[in-house]
Amino acid sequence: MRRITIQVSKELRSIPGVRNFGAHIGRAEVAEEVVGPNFTELWISIDPDVDYDATVARIQEVVDGYPGLYRDVLTYLKERIKEVLTGASASIVVRVFGPDLNTLRAKAQEIGAAIKDVGGIADLKVEPQVLVPQIQVALRPEAAAQFGLTAGSIRRAAMTVVKGMKVGEVYDRQMVFDVSVWGKPGARSDIDAIRELLIDTPGGGHVPLKDVADVSIVATPNEIKREGASRRIDVTCNVRGRDLGSVAHEIEDRVRKLSFERGYHPEFLGEYAARVESRNKLLLLSAFALVGIFLLLHMDFQSARLAGLVFTTLPFALIGGVIGAVISGGVLSLGSLVGFVTVLGIAARNGIMMVSHYRHLQSEGVPFGLKLVLQGAEERLSPILMTALCAGLGLLPLVIAGDRPGHEIEHPMAIVILGGLVTSTILNLILLPTFYWLTFRDSTARSLSKPQSLP
């Protein structure tokens, strides 16, 4: 792995625009990401003056030139987000659970074969679980009983020679050093020497290990992953050239058509699953928030009609956000949802201030009519425009910068908020005054000049 990493590094360094190169081989820097020597990360910075898409395509071409490697080319933020969501650096993860490892491997290969021709799939990978040699000591209970030995004593003796055992500590210069006992290098690397290992018997004698246990080298998995008290294996892939949602739906449909034995089941994880879960949770919380907003408006205005007026005009403010989401790719991402909530809050604030100003003018004796509506809109023009301009100018750099690495969340959010600010400003300056006049131009509206008599 180190030799291949060096070769890949040399080729990547020759690409124009690649700078600040770094590599970590078999790194174990943080507790949540401990990996073996077969894992490598190459960290690359790209010069802002070069064509980003063309440079990334060239990097992908270099990495793809080494067959037999499982690789992903990701930005740092995308890799962090995906690993937090599922523990895997892929957009879509089909995680298969079950008790038997061989059956899991076979089922994972079956899933990989079933979805490999789905349009838009890239970097399809069945989690590799290679077999590695391991020494196995299988106790023969009858033979061990003849010498008065137990399974624990035999395994401790074998483990001490091969792996080592801590027997004490040494304190020196305010530092603590462990003292361990283990076998000579020749004994640890030679299976015949392990078979000849002498085991102390309770009677004071010795017996070779081979007389009380079968020592052999067997093939075992390099790792066994568990989750929820069950073994699991992942089938992962990324998406290119197609909508993430449609690819995820098609993969889910194909996998659900496969038959799974009792005790085995798939789960669908990744970006799309996390997005759906976040969206459903956000929609549920938004519903409670809207009910709370209506109740607060009713408590403040002491009028169901005024509260309903502000409440029913809020969806018009989201039109610009919808247009912004379409412009940013047509994908309703988590950043877009946050943008919609922000736009809704700004529109509600401006609407409440507009209606409150109308009530204030009526309390000062301004009669209800077009003069009241125009005067209130004119006096609220500057505060509403200042709110929109301050927020818009603050988000404009994110919109101009485009969908660059590190802006995967902020860019769609900024576009949605910017589009929503345009429509919410029009709503509060044109539509809301119009609706206010149309709603209260009858005799009930004229009674609003006395706040205590609100309907």
- Residues 136-157: pLDDT tens digits? 888 888 888 888 888 888 888 8
pLDDT of residue 280 exceeding 60: yes
Q: How far apart are the first and last CA of the chain?
A: 77
pLDDT value at residue 449: 42
Q: 262 in a domain, yes or no?
A: no
Total tally of structural domains belonging to the chain: 3
pLDDT value at residue 374: 86
Q: DSSP assignment of 338-405, as one string? A: HHHHHHHHHHHHHHHHHHHHHHHHHHTTPPSSHHHHHHHHHHTHHHHHHHHHHHHHHHHHHHHH-S-T
Tens digit of pLDDT for each residue in 285-325?
A: 878 888 888 888 888 878 888 888 887 777 777 788 888 87
Taking residues 421-439, report their average pLDDT: 82
- Residue finishing a domain among 71, 90, 110: 71
pLDDT above 90 as % of the chain: 6
Euclidean distance between CA atoms 75 and 407, whole angstroms: 10
Residues 169 and 306 in one domain: no
Q: 159 in a domain, yes or no?
A: yes
Residues 142 and 38 in one domain: no
pLDDT above 70 as % of the chain: 83
Q: 234 in a domain, yes or no?
A: no
pLDDT of residue 276 exceeding 90: no
Confidence of residue 250 (pLDDT cuts 50, 70, 90): very high
pLDDT of residue 413 exceeding 60: yes
Residues 324 and 418 in one domain: yes
Tens digit of pLDDT for each residue in 84-121?
A: 655 566 778 899 999 988 888 899 999 999 998 898 88
Domain of 175 in residue numbering reads as 132-221
CA–CA distance from 444 to each of 8, 304, 346, 438 (Å)?
78, 13, 29, 12
Residues 319 and 431 in one domain: yes
pLDDT value at residue 381: 85
Confidence of residue 445 (pLDDT cuts 50, 70, 90): very low
- Residue finishing a domain among 172, 203, 221: 221
Identify the helix (H) or strand (E) that includes residue 144: helix 141-146
- Residue finishing a domain among 197, 221, 245: 221
The conformation of residue 430, written as its DSSP 8-state character, comes to I
Q: 27 in a domain, yes or no?
A: yes
- More confident site: 40 or 361: 361
Tens digit of pLDDT for each residue in 53-90?
A: 788 888 878 877 777 676 777 776 666 666 665 556 67
Residues 307 and 449 in one domain: yes
Cβ neighbours of 67 (radius 10 Å): 5
Residues 173 and 61 in one domain: no
Residues 316 and 390 in one domain: yes
Euclidean distance between CA atoms 105 and 435, whole angstroms: 64
Confidence of residue 361 (pLDDT cuts 50, 70, 90): confident
Mean confidence (pLDDT) of the chain:
79
CATH number, domain of 137, equals: 3.30.2090.10
